[in-house]
Amino acid sequence: MDTFLEVELLVNEAKIVEHGLPGKFDYLEHTADVYILAYGENIIELLENAGIALFETMTDTSRINKKIYRDVEVHGIDLENLLYRWLEELLTIYYSENIMCSEIKVNKFIVSRENNEIDYFVKGSCMGEEFDPEKHESKVEVKAVTYHLMKIIRDENGWKAYFVLDI
């Protein structure tokens, strides 16, 4: 497991190697997997853009029609755990139903406390269609979301999420 200082150093030294969708995400340098930097003006937009980055890693989302709608709800113990579970749930929709999404919306984001325990909750939806290799370009197969190098920060330009997808 990475220590906080090791992750901080790696995140600060990460270099963009390919631009993703403008204003939504970029791909960072990584030796074996896909390292993503997602952007958002707020935490809601950040979660939406991170979800799109997941699907864009696997296919060209501009070719995905919005025919199928799925609800997505997850809880987390902190923002990184929430991001991890959000992406994991979206990836599960792909693997269980073969659905690729081209639009992701967060409708509700709640932070609550009960007995000194903080709970982060997000409810949203994704729209897409079944993956068809005849119609949709296959880029890489994402096997899993990881906690490796995962970090969410807020600065003067908005929110940023760093995360690695295992391919």
Position 5 scores a pLDDT of: 45
pLDDT tens profile 59-107: 999 999 999 999 999 999 999 999 999 999 999 999 999 999 999 999 9
Residue 48 pairs with which residues in a beta bridge? Answer: none
Under CATH, which architecture does the 4-166 domain have? 3-Layer(bab) Sandwich (3.55)
Q: Are 90 and 55 in contact (CB under 8 A)?
A: yes
Position 163 scores a pLDDT of: 97
Query: What does the domain layout of the chain look like in residue ranges?
Result: 4-166
Query: pTM of the prediction?
Result: 0.89
CA-atom Rg of the chain in angstroms: 15
Instruction: Read off the pLDDT of each residue in 121-149 and give the average, rounded to a whole number.
Output: 95
pLDDT tens profile 97-114: 999 999 999 999 999 998
